[in-house]
Structure 1
Amino acid sequence: MLIRKIGLLFTGFALAVNLGSPACSADPLTEKTKDLRHAFPVPVILIDVGHGGIDGGTAYGNTLEKDINLEVGRRLYMVLRSHGYRAILNRTGDYALSDENRWLNSRSRHMRDLAQRRGLSEQLPAAIVVSLHVNWARNTARRGPLVLHQEDGRSAMLAGCLQHALEDLFDMPGSRLPELGKPFYLLNHIKAPAVIVETGFISNAEDRAMLTSKRGQQKLAESIYAAIAEYFTVM
């Protein structure tokens, strides 16, 4: 298996990947709905949890980006699964994906890490990839979400849904448009529609309160889910 400890339990739920069976759902399915699901398979959503292990990402004191990404990712996984989506976490603990690299023979740990994330998205294959990150700025007044997308209409559509949903959560409607993420390896090399979600600025006190509290992390997960669900209704 490409994902470490895929069978581990998180808060009483299995994070097992089973692409051959229907996704778990909190609601009972009617026979008609079951038939529709056989005709139109539930898409696989890859949650790319940014950084991990030796790579802590950005930080504020002892608060590390990698830990925030993991907590939001876990919660997003559970929300998606509870609504019947096939969701996969590519990191379920604090370790670097570069340690499991199978796609790139490079001395650069960073490049091995990125190649592992890209390769997993192709092997699944994923319908969409949502990469979770946290922002930082010297100007502590800067705040709010930012979604980066590929030069692709589907990716831009997903980014628009996410930007809108997260701005509503932060009570910042219309404050920023999604941006084209030209310099980013993942967005340039992943074939599926992919986005990088900067969930907020760790350098801003108001954003940091959202990013580090359990309630805030749950709200972030639910907003991201709502945007993903909206995307699949129009695509």
Structure 2
Amino acid sequence: MRWNRFWILGLGTLFTCTFFIQAKNNPVTRKQDKPIRTIIIDAGHGGEDPGAKGSYSTEKQVTLEVALKLGKILEENMPDVKVVYTRKTDRFDDPRKKAQIANDNKGELFVSIHCNSTGKIRKVTGYKTVYHRKGKRKIASKQPIYAYYPSNAKGTETYIWATSKNNAKMESLKQNSVIVLDANSEETKQLMDDTDPETFILLNTLRNAYFDQSLRLSTLIEDEFTRVGRISRGARQRNEKGIWVLSATAMPSVLVELGFISNPEEEDYLNSGSGQQELANCIYKAIKRYREELDRFTNNRNSSPATTRSNSRSNNNAAMLKPGKPAKNQPDPGDGYCVQLMITDKLYKPGASIFRKLPGDINRQPVVMNKKKMNKYMWGRFKTDQQASNALRKARKLGFKGAFVTNC
């Protein structure tokens, strides 16, 4: 009898441990046919918050129009993707509410749409004579007369969260771990303890993958803008006010600045139907390219011989393509990567001194921007995204501050 009790206890313990390990490594998941099934579109500002102001329009109006146009394009061309809007009317929600909408809907991608703005330029237009008394004497002095003019700043920018916000992004993944990891069963929810080292490592890996994916998408968006003649100010990290919503969403996320509403020329473009449609098309094409890269990686991964593999969505995402980086034994996408150094009206000859510290070929591509002939300068042809990233850092260090990586 004593031995019977021992075996029953031993087998029961073994079963419990086995269940724990299995549940830890294999949370209950939804069937994943595509790496992107839900896209969250955020029209910046709204309601009582107008955002940046132009001479006759506001940021909230432009962002809503572009967001709705982008959503319509996605719904028509990606019927298998669910599109969720943080707002479809002139309504105000604080960033916490927007992040909650994104997380509750289990988004795989978050795109926030905004307009840029800068202060007016002050110029001296003349002088006036001002008299003041010093004792019994009147003393004359010249004082400048100022006039204020709209800034001529222009161009698009796409931001991701800065690495200094990694802790905030990690916190959002912890708070939404049940959603992120698809831990649907009560047993698995109890086992997903965010204080456990294994869970921490898993979430940390996932955060790093999201960072790489966000950076890749931001680069693709800026690349599409330049293809239609828009001036790109680059894809970059951002740490200041207004970026909170990116670190609070538990998914890859980008913030797109469509242009400067404070610039009269760009304000007209941002408020035109054709301009809004063009911007929405550019963002859609970038999302399409980004999704195709993830699809190629997923298909290649599913067709390869299985080794020890977790079925959780978290492991799929964590191992997912670092955007632009081909899977092992898979050819590089396109013809590799180039670094776009700048777009300027200046014509530089091959071997010009401005490029002398950049090894390799510098290619010039003529482009037209706002009916003006410009020159786009591209550096190199890099096989991997790591090589391209190293080259990008070097280019920016040498003074090409607006440089970014793009497909050749």
Q: TM-score, normalised by structure 1?
A: 0.73
Q: Which amino acid aligns with 1:135?
A: N
1:212 counterpart (255, 271, 276): 271
In structure 2, what is the equivalent of residue 194 of structure 1?
A: 253
In structure 2, what is the equivalent of residue 148 of structure 1?
A: 159
Q: Does 1:177 align with 2:234?
A: yes
Q: Distance in 2 between matches of 1:137 and 1:171?
A: 18
Give ranges in structure 2 of 5+ residues lacking alignment: 1-30, 122-150, 164-210, 295-408
Contact 2:55 2:262 in 1 (8 A): no
Sequence identity (%): 29
Q: Distance in 1 between matches of 2:91 and 2:227?
A: 32
**Structure 1 residue 227: deviation in Å?**
0.6
Q: Does 1:225 align with 2:284?
A: yes
Contact 1:144 1:167 in 2 (8 A): no
**Structure 1 residue 70: deviation in Å?**
0.5
Instruction: Kindly tell me the number of residue pairs found equivalent between the two proteins.
Output: 182
Q: Distance in 1 between matches of 2:33 and 2:236?
A: 35
Are residues 44 and 226 of structure 1, via their aligned partners in 2, closer, same or farther at CA, if it must alter by over 3 Å? same
CA deviation string 1:74-104 (max 9, x = no partner): 100100001023212111111112xxxxxxx
Q: Distance in 2 between matches of 1:40 and 1:165?
A: 23
In structure 2, what is the equivalent of residue 164 of structure 1?
A: 223
In structure 2, what is the equivalent of residue 4 of structure 1?
A: none
3-state secondary structure, aligned to 1:60: coil
Alignment of 1:93-172 (within 5 A): 93-97=89-93, 113-138=94-119, 140-150=151-161, 151=163, 152-172=211-231
**Structure 1 residue 62: deviation in Å?**
3.1
Contact 1:148 1:195 in 2 (8 A): yes
Q: Distance in 1 between matches of 2:229 and 2:262?
A: 15
CA deviation string 1:137-192 (max 9, x = no partner): 125221010000134111101111111112223443xx432110223211222121
3-state secondary structure, aligned to 2:251: coil
Give ranges in structure 1 of 5+ residues lacking alignment: 1-36, 98-112
Q: Which amino acid aligns with 2:87?
A: R
Structure of greater Rg: 2
**Structure 1 residue 40: deviation in Å?**
3.0
Q: TM-score, normalised by structure 2?
A: 0.43
**Structure 1 residue 38: deviation in Å?**
7.8
Q: CA RMSD in A?
A: 1.8
Contact 2:62 2:271 in 1 (8 A): yes
Q: Distance in 1 between matches of 2:228 and 2:268?
A: 13
Q: Distance in 2 between matches of 1:42 and 1:192?
A: 11
Q: Which has more strand, going by share of residues?
A: 2
Contact 1:143 1:201 in 2 (8 A): yes
Q: Distance in 1 between matches of 2:32 and 2:106?
A: 18
Are residues 165 and 41 of structure 1, via their aligned partners in 2, closer, same or farther at CA, if it must alter by over 3 Å? closer
In structure 1, what is the equivalent of residue 326 of structure 2?
A: none
Q: Distance in 1 between matches of 2:103 and 2:86?
A: 13
**Structure 1 residue 67: deviation in Å?**
0.4
**Structure 1 residue 233: deviation in Å?**
1.3
3-state secondary structure, aligned to 1:63: coil
Q: Distance in 1 between matches of 2:92 and 2:228?
A: 30
Contact 1:145 1:167 in 2 (8 A): no
2:45 counterpart (28, 35, 51): 51
- Which stretch of structure 1 is more off in the superposition, 84-93 or 44-53? 84-93
